[in-house]
Every structure is written in structure tokens, then in C-alpha cells.
């Protein structure tokens, strides 16, 4: 998959394709319908299938003082795009210049002059241009004016619930990773580099791999059954997110105990896949009571994960195995 990070001097190989456009935070099942539509159009017209997203998220640009719970890091989003089969990802810097473009300027300068688009695919609630002046109807009109096709994908959902990034965030904040996974189409993951901690887990007999959380990661505190991805290997484990109320009630930490694992992985990057919430984060009267509960948590996690392995309906993306060609432009 080729990656483009400017609409100026776009390589010929990245022009003349079908582009799905949006923020795609989470790349949930609604987003996947938009991407599927782009690939279908591209196949029918024998052109390349691409996606255009924006970094930072426009909400972060316009409201920098407010934290946004990002479901996917830029790296994970690219991996999902590639795994789903896109040929091209155009990651446009969302800055003052981009924000100042009117809807027609965005179409004429970015889509037409920059990428020479043949077809544009968006969701039903896509807004673009200065002051959100563009919407799917405006895009249809501009497509006729500038000579490219437009497809608008209708609202997607299941069992009365619409697929949306906001709803996925809510489910994770409520401690419902299974509900979030059903909306995403895959088990949600958090990625980070293993860092050193206070080593309390080691003292208690449960050495953990700790990763630093970004301020915007706000899923529910407590114990989870998890799968951990390390390079090409997958491990079962139990993860704790919380403020360690038994000890210092400090800054939230994410600590993961990998079952039957004794490698030193400090400094290495891992991905932690939330499977099921086990219990709330609570204060224990002493370390012995905490140790006993940790043993029980791990047994519950083992049972959950063994059952999941037998019948896992979620798509398991082989993240970390994709290959990109990066074009640094502009």
C-alpha cells in the first residue's frame, strides 16, 4: 500500500483512482462498508482503490484543549487499511491551510488537481470544507461539475444500533469490549512500548508488561482477559487498567500479565487486545488479599480466552505484517 501525505506533486501512480474519504477513527464496520464500496468501484473501473484520512483528527485541530479518545493510532489505522485491501492511503495534514479551504476549493485543489479522482466514496454523514460547508449532496453536485463519480454509503447498523466511532468509545468506557468488537468487526487493541514500573506485580508473583497510556485513552478501569501480540506471536493474559488504589491511587496505568511467559520484553512494542471485562478496580485491605484476587482473575481470564479461541467470530487482523511505500511530499 502506498502512503501519500500531501496533495501537492502527487505521484502519477497515486492519481486517477477511487477515493473513500473520512476520518475513519476505529475503522469500524460502517467505515468498512465505505472502503468496500471504494474497492468495488475501483475493481469495476480497473483503477486503484484508495482512502483519504486526516491527521490530526479535525476535532483535535479545532478543539486542542479537549482530549479525544482515539480508537486507532495513525499507525494502526494504516495497518487496517492495508489489511482490508486498499492500494493507497492519502493521509492529509489537517492544518490551518486545509481548514481554510471551502468545500469547492477542497474538491478542485485536493481531489481534482491533486489526485485527479475518478470516483469519491463517503458515508452519509460526511461534511467537509470551511465551516462544514460541504455534505454528500454538495459533493454530488461538484462531482458533476468536475467530472468524477460520487457514491454515498447509507447508515449502517445492526439490531437497532448504528455503527459509529462515538458508540464504540462509549462501549469501551462502559467496560464492554465485546460490544465494541461487534461494532468494530474486530477486537479492539491498544498499542505501546513496554516500560519499567514499580515492579509490584513481580513482588506479588505476577510480573507485568506495562505500557504508558496517552491522555486520550479512557476505557473502563478494571481487569480484562486479553490477547497480547508480540512480533509474530500471540499470548493470553490478564490486564489491569487503574490507579492502584491498594497502593498509591496515582496516575492510571495499564499492566498486563502474560500467562506462561518469561521473556524480557522491556523496550519492545506490544498490542493488547481487550476480550472481556472481568471485574472493577477496587481497593484491597492488604497485599495478600490482592494476590488472592489476582490468582482468581487469571483463572477467569484463562477460561474466557480458551472459550474464545474455540469460537471467535471477530476478524483477527494480522497487524504488524503489512508493507508500505512512503511518499514524503509537500
Per residue in 89-114, pLDDT (tens digit) is 999 999 999 999 999 999 999 999 99
SS3 category, 302: helix
pLDDT at 328: 44
CB 194 within 8 Å of CB 266 = yes
Mean pLDDT of the chain: 87
In this predicted model, which residue has the larger pLDDT, 283 or 106?
106
Residue 256 pLDDT more than 90?
yes
Tell me which of 20-24, 78-82, 220-224, 316-320 is least confident: 316-320
Tell me which of 78-92, 257-271, 275-289 is least confident: 275-289
Residue 285 pLDDT more than 80?
no
SS3 category, 11: coil
Tell me which of 45-49, 118-122, 181-185 is least confident: 181-185
The predicted model gives 168-185 an average pLDDT of 94
Residue 204 pLDDT more than 70?
no
The predicted model gives 116-137 an average pLDDT of 96
pLDDT at 109: 98
pLDDT per residue over 153-164, tens digit each? 998 887 668 899
In this predicted model, which residue has the larger pLDDT, 86 or 73?
86
pLDDT at 292: 84
Q: Enter the pTM of the model.
A: 0.87
Kindly list the structural domains of the chain, giving each domain's residue range(s) and its CATH number in brackets, ordered by start.
2-159 (3.40.50.620), 188-310 (2.40.30.30)
Q: What is the DSSP string of 256-299?
A: EEETT-----TT-EEEEEEEEEEE-----SSHHHHHHHHHHHHH
Position 67 confidence tier, pLDDT thresholds 50, 70, 90: confident
pLDDT at 197: 61
CA angle 44, 9, 81 (to 5 degrees): 45
pLDDT at 317: 54
pLDDT at 249: 57
The predicted model gives 137-146 an average pLDDT of 98
Residue 321 pLDDT more than 90?
no
The predicted model gives 123-136 an average pLDDT of 95
Position 199 confidence tier, pLDDT thresholds 50, 70, 90: low
pLDDT at 158: 78
Residue 248 pLDDT more than 90?
no
pLDDT per residue over 32-54, tens digit each? 999 999 999 999 999 999 999 99
SS3 category, 169: helix
Beta bridge partners of residue 20, listed in sequence order: 51, 121
Give percent of the chain with pLDDT exceeding 70: 86
In this predicted model, which residue has the larger pLDDT, 201 or 263?
263
The predicted model gives 220-246 an average pLDDT of 88
Tell me which of 15-24, 180-189, 205-214, 294-303 is least confident: 205-214
Amino acid at each position: 500500500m502506498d502512503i501519500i501525505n500531501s496533495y501537492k506533486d502527487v505521484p502519477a501512480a497515486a492519481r486517477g483512482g477511487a477515493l473513500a474519504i473520512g476520518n475513519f477513527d476505529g475503522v469500524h464496520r460502517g467505515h468498512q462498508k465505505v472502503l468496500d464500496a471504494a474497492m468495488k468501484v475501483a475493481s469495476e473501473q480497473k483503477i486503484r482503490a484508495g482512502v483519504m484520512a486526516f491527521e490530526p483528527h479535525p476535532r483535535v485541530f479545532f478543539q486542542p484543549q479537549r482530549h479525544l479518545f482515539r480508537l486507532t493510532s495513525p499507525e494502526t489505522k494504516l495497518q487496517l487499511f492495508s489489511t482490508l485491501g486498499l492500494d493507497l492511503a492519502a493521509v492529509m495534514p489537517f492544518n490551518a491551510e486545509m481548514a481554510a479551504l471551502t468545500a469547492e476549493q477542497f474538491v478542485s485543489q485536493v481531489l481534482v488537481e491533486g489526485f485527479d479522482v475518478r470516483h469519491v466514496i463517503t458515508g452519509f454523514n460526511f461534511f467537509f470544507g470551511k465551516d462544514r460547508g460541504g455534505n454528500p449532496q454538495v459533493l454530488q453536485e461538484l462531482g458533476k461539475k468536475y467530472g468524477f463519480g460520487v457514491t454515498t454509503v447509507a447508515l449502517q447498523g445492526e439490531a437497532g444500533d448504528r455503527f459509529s466511532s462515538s458508540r464504540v468509545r462509549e462501549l469501551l468506557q462502559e467496560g464492554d469490549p465485546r460490544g465494541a468488537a461487534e461494532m468494530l468487526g474486530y477486537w479492539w487493541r491498544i498499542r505501546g512500548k513496554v516500560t519499567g514500573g514499580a515492579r509490584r506485580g513481580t513482588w506479588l508473583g505476577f510480573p507485568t508488561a506495562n505500557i504508558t497510556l496517552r491522555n486520550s485513552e479512557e476505557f473502563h478501569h478494571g481487569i480484562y482477559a486479553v490477547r497480547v501480540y508480540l512480533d509474530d506471536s500471540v499470548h493470553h493474559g490478564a490486564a489491569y487498567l487503574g490507579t492502584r488504589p491498594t497502593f498509591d491511587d496515582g496516575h492510571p496505568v495499564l499492566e498486563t500479565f502474560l500467562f506462561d511467559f518469561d521473556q524480557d520484553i522491556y523496550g519492545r512494542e506490544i498490542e493488547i487486545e481487550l476480550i472481556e471485562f472481568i471485574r472493577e478496580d477496587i481497593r484491597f485491605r492488604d497485599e495478600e488479599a490482592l494476590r488472592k484476587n489476582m490468582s482468581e482473575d487469571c483463572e477467569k481470564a484463562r477460561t474466557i480466552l480458551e472459550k474464545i479461541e474455540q469460537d471467535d467470530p471477530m476478524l483477527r487482523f494480522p497487524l504488524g505484517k503489512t508493507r508500505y511505500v512512503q511518499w514524503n511530499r509537500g
